[in-house]
């Protein structure tokens, strides 16, 4: 179970049993795995994406950035991995889907996502298939 001991104690104080706390923890893990799958699918084919990544040699609010691939894994409530861009890469320390395309009878595929990038970036960065989705 990934809830720390203080969180578990607080959940027990409001009346949740150990089984209910475990079920909630399992639900978080399932959602994190689904988010990681959705993020991987978003970048699956690689290519050009619109992003608000601040580049040292530019001052545009939205730039096009070539993404080669993303490799993600989950551990409890954490998403970690590596994003390979055109000629450089950066660790991924979290992420989420921000917007989905509207499709009949489904949630739709991701249209815009946000990644928390570590290393030299150290910021949350949005990526989209269309600039207006940012």
Look at residues 62, 129, 61, 124 and name the one whose alpha carbon lies nearest to residue 99. 129
In the predicted structure, residue 106 carries a pLDDT above the cut 80: no
Helix ranges (H only) for the chain are: 5-13, 18-42
Place of tokens 């150990």: 18
- φ and ψ of 29, to 5 deg: -60, -45
Q: What average pLDDT is seen over the chain? A: 88
Task: Return the pLDDT at 55.
Answer: 66
Residue 60 has pLDDT above 90, yes or no: no
pTM value is: 0.84
Task: Give the pLDDT of residue 103.
Answer: 60
Would you list the domain boundaries of the chain? Answer: 36-133
pLDDT above 80: residue 16: yes
DSSP state letter for 87: S
Fold topology of 36-133:
Protein Yojf; Chain: A; (2.70.180)
More confident residue, 38 or 107: 38
CA gap 72, 83 in Å, rounded: 8
Per-residue pLDDT, averaged over 86-99, amounts to 92
Number of H helices, E strands in the chain: 2, 6
Per-residue pLDDT, 1 = 66
Going by pLDDT thresholds of 50, 70 and 90, the confidence category of residue 105 is: very low
Q: Each residue of 19-30: pLDDT tens digit?
A: 999 999 999 999
Element (H, E) at 89: strand 89-100
């Amino acid at each position: 179970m990934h809830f720390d001991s203080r969180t578990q104690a607080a959940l027990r104080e409001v009346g949740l049993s150990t089984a209910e706390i475990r079920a909630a923890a399992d639900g978080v893990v399932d959602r994190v795995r689904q988010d990681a799958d959705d993020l991987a699918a978003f970048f699956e084919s690689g290519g050009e994406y619109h992003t608000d990544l601040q580049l040292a040699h530019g001052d545009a609010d939205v730039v096009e950035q070539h993404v080669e691939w993303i490799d993600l894994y989950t551990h409890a409530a954490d998403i970690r991995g590596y994003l390979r861009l055109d000629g450089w890469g950066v660790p991924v320390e979290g992420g989420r889907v921000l917007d989905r395309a509207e499709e009949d009878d489904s949630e739709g595929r991701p249209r815009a996502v946000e990644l928390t990038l570590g290393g030299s970036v150290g910021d949350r960065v949005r990526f989209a298939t269309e600039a207006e989705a940012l």
